[in-house]
Structures are given as C-alpha cells and as structure tokens.
Amino acid sequence: MSRLGEGKVEIELGGERVVLSPSIEAAEAIGPILTVWDQVQLFDVKAYLLTIAAGSGFDAAQMRELRPAIFENMTKLREALTVYLATLLNGGRPPPQPANPEEAGSAPGEG
C-alpha cells in the first residue's frame, strides 16, 4: 500500500527543481476549481499557476517570479501536472497504472 505523500512530482522551472507535494492543503486549494483538470489539458496558464502554487507551497511573490518560466514551459509541464492532479485525486498516492495500456482513459478513474 502506498503512503500518503509518496506521489511527489518533480518539475523544472527556470533551471530550478521544484517538487509538488500531494497534500490535503493542495487538494483543498485546487478542489474548488473542478475544471482544473480540463484547464491543464487545454494549457490554461492560470490552472498551471494554481496547481504549481498549491503543490510547491510557493507564495504570491515567488509565483510572480516564476510566471515567465511556467508560461515558456507549459508543454513540458503538462505531463507532470497531469500526474500530480491524478495523484491528488487518488488521495496523495500515485494513481494505479492500468494492466493494459488500452484500458487507460483520458482522466483518472476512466478505463
């Protein structure tokens, strides 16, 4: 059985390593915006900022500094943020991998 917090996701912003930690606080920050999953898939910069801020614990000043790096790397960040959101949806644990890749859906829980 996976432990809470085991599903940390690492991203790179502005040449720096940033770790997104699946936490109850991050889930609470992202949870009210139920469409954040779709927004990340559609490259909505605000969804990226919100997700990274919630997972990293960065304050508003730090996020303002990172905005250009986030914007410039949205394509690279998409997969990691998708994994991070799926981890939050799975209670902070890495999402289960389907036994058969064809069983994989477009969102966690589908298959």
Query: Is 4 within the bounds of a domain?
Result: no
Separation CA 30–CA 110 (nearest Å):
20
Query: Is 100 within the bounds of a domain?
Result: no
Identify the domain containing residue 23 by its residue range: 9-94
Mean pLDDT for the chain? 80
CA distances from 100 to 66, 70, 105 (A): 38, 33, 11
Please, what's the b/e burial string for 25-42 (b: 16 or more CB within 10 A of its CB; e: otherwise)?
Answer: ebbebbeeeeebbebbbe
Query: Is 14 within the bounds of a domain?
Result: yes
Calculate mean pLDDT across residues 47-73: 92
Query: Is 76 within the bounds of a domain?
Result: yes
Separation CA 36–CA 85 (nearest Å):
9
Query: Is 3 within the bounds of a domain?
Result: no
Q: Say how many C-beta atoms besides its own lie within 10 A of residue 73's C-beta.
A: 16
Report how many domains make up the chain: 1
Query: Is 24 within the bounds of a domain?
Result: yes
Closest CA to 3 of 94, 111, 75: 94
Query: Is 43 within the bounds of a domain?
Result: yes
What tokens were used for 12? 């790179």
Contact between residue 12 and residue 81 where contact means Cβ atoms under 8 Å apart: no
Q: How confident is the model at residue 37 (pLDDT cuts 50, 70, 90)?
A: low
pLDDT in tens, 77-96: 989 998 998 888 888 888 88
Query: Is 104 within the bounds of a domain?
Result: no
